[in-house]
Amino acid sequence: MTEYALRMGDGKRIFLTREQIRADLEAGTADAADLGSIPALTGNELDKLAEILMMPARMVGVEPGKEVPVTHDIGTIRLDGDQGNSGVGIPTSRLAGCMIHERAMGADTMELGHIDYSFKPVKPVIAQEQQAMEVCQQNMIVPLFYGAMPNMGLYYTPDGPFENPGDLMKAFKIAEAQASMEHAADHLTRDMIWIMQKLMFAGADGVNFDTTGAAGDGDMFATLRAVESLRKQYPDMYIEVGMAGELVLGMHGELQYDNTTLAGLWPHQQAPLVAKAGANVFGPVVNTNTSKSSAWNLARAVTFVKAAVKASPIPCHVNMGMGVGGIPMFETPTIDAVSRASKAMVEIAGVDGI
């Protein structure tokens, strides 16, 4: 019986028969449909997905004419950064890094980011970031964002001024934990607005809020309020909101935006809120299960993202880094798995970009 080379969610090569692949595809889409109360992929879509996964070539590509813009997060850290950011340790300036992405790699957009890639540490070095943005904008042609993570966890002890909600909850101080999250969210919103005011002054095209919701619903709450404020101040600013995970974790549990409780939202429910706040592009995330096959993970991710694309009033650029969007959770994801996931998201989920 013919077997096809696929990957596990951790990247390891496995061999599955056509029937095993089909069974995993059906189970993956059913899992997403059940969790999100969204439609499962149709039989034809599962056939197409199976065809992509079983293509014999090492690398596959979208059909000509179906290409999409590819936006980038992490800035130039993937060049000059360390392993912690999956960087390859090439000592380049950030200007050179941006230009390499534009002219050597063919990136459709690029972004500038601080080495920590969180908003909070940018505050003490804002003038440096403004200078770097000015120099990059003078030389770049593709849209150049400022990218950073809201990363609300940096506002809690021992890194920040507010008592750690995890410690408070362990002591059953639930109301105090919620209050701490609300205070942190206020400061995070204020900081993100201030930082982006400075960078818009320096000529930035806009901002990429990367890994929104990483610290739970408070993190997303703070980000949506920052988006709303920035949109009012800068009607032409480019704003992208990319998520941290498929589900908004209810660390607080009762925070609302536009009368919608943020905790427990799935990608197709996140997209309209992000658009309502004023973003131009939404980046849905679906997490990879390392114990399942790439067939299971990709069917599940495509199901969630297809629903988000349909529900979203703005373009969707799906997040497809290590461990999300059907990509294996591995530091150097294999080309066969990445190209198949990339093609499936474009041709089946119908994403506007990656």
Partner 1 sequence: MGMPITHIMTSGMSGIRAAGDLVARMQFARNMRLKDAKEYVAKKLGVSTMDLSDEYVMRELREELGIGVVTSVAGSPKGIAAKMNIEKLLDIKINCCEKFRGKLK
Binding residues vs partner 1 (CB under 8 A): 59-62, 64-72, 78-79, 88, 102-103, 105-109, 137-143, 200-206, 236-240, 280-281, 313-315, 320-322, 327, 332-333, 335, 338-339, 342-343, 345-346, 351-354
Shortest Cβ distance from residue 147 to partner 1 (Å)?
A: 13
Task: Pick the closer one to partner 1 by CB: 40 or 199.
Answer: 199
Omega into 161 within 30° of 0, i.e. cis? no
- 247 vs 7: CA distance, rounded Å: 24
For residue 322, how many other CB atoms are within 10 A of its CB? 16
What is the smallest separation between the CB atom of 332 and partner 1, expressed in angstroms? 6
Q: How far is the CB of 209 from partner 1 (least distance, A)?
A: 14
When the beta carbons of 292 and 340 are compared against partner 1, the nearer one is 340
Total residues found in the chain within this entry = 354
Q: Is 300 left (phi over 0), alpha (psi -120 to 50) or beta?
A: alpha
Residue 198: CB minimum distance to partner 1, A: 13
| Closer residue to partner 1 (CB): 140 or 243 | 140
Least Cβ distance, residue 107 to partner 1 (angstroms): 5
- According to DSSP, the residues that pair with 324 across neighbouring strands are 287
Minimum CB distance to partner 1 smaller for 148 or for 154? 148
**Going by C-beta distance under 8 Å and a sequence separation of 6 or more, which residues neighbour residue 108?**
69, 70, 71, 142, 353
Helices (H), the chain: 18-36, 43-54, 77-80, 94-103, 126-139, 165-170, 174-201, 217-233, 267-277, 294-311, 335-344
Write the single-letter amino acid at 48. Answer: K
Query: Among residues 88 and 174, whose Cβ is nearest to partner 1?
Result: 88
Query: Which residue, 40 or 281, is less far from partner 1 as judged by CB?
Result: 281
Q: What is the smallest separation between the CB atom of 286 and partner 1, expressed in angstroms?
A: 16
If you compute the radius of gyration of the chain from its CA atoms, what whole number of angstroms results? 20
In the complex with partner 1, the residue whose CB is nearer, 203 or 250, is 203
Instruction: Identify the CA nearest to 137 among candidates 80, 201, 236, 205.
Output: 205
Rounded-to-integer distance, Cα 45 and Cα 54, Å: 14
Minimum Å distance from CB 114 to partner 1?
19
Could you tell me the smallest distance in angstroms from the CB atom of residue 325 to partner 1? 10
297 with 338: CB under 8 angstroms?
no
CB nearer to partner 1: give 16 or 314: 314
Per-residue DSSP letter, 256: E
**What angle (nearest 5°) sits at the alpha carbon of residue 295, between those of residues 291 and 300?**
85
